[in-house]
Amino acid sequence: MIWVYVIQSKLDNGYYIGITKDIQNRLKKHNKGGVSITKKRKPFSLVYTEEFENYKKARLREIELKSYKGGNKLKVLLKD
């Protein structure tokens, strides 16, 4: 299974949206500073996940969620 996930920085409250096969290990990697794009914003908490059967569907959803950034759609999704 493939996961699309949203993590929130405890430092600046910003979000990061990603895709992975192993959600727990990926979160650990973000929190240890092992992901260059997020290493200066750690620590993170996992705030949202969606599971998909294949990479293609997950990637399309990841792109859709990333298009929500800067608007209210992501905030509405995370409240539900």
Question: 33's torsion region: left (phi>0), alpha (psi -120 to 50) or beta?
Answer: left
Question: Of 13 and 76, which is predicted with more confidence?
Answer: 13
pLDDT at 70 over 70: no
Q: What is the mean pLDDT of residues 44-64?
A: 96
Q: What is the mean pLDDT of residues 35-64?
A: 96
pLDDT at 71 over 70: no
CA 77 from chain center: how many Å? 13
Q: Which helix (H) or strand (E) holds 47?
A: strand 44-52
* DSSP letter, residue 34: -
Mean pLDDT, all residues of the chain: 92
**CB-CB contact of 20 with 3 (8 Å):** yes
Indicate the pTM of the whole model: 0.90
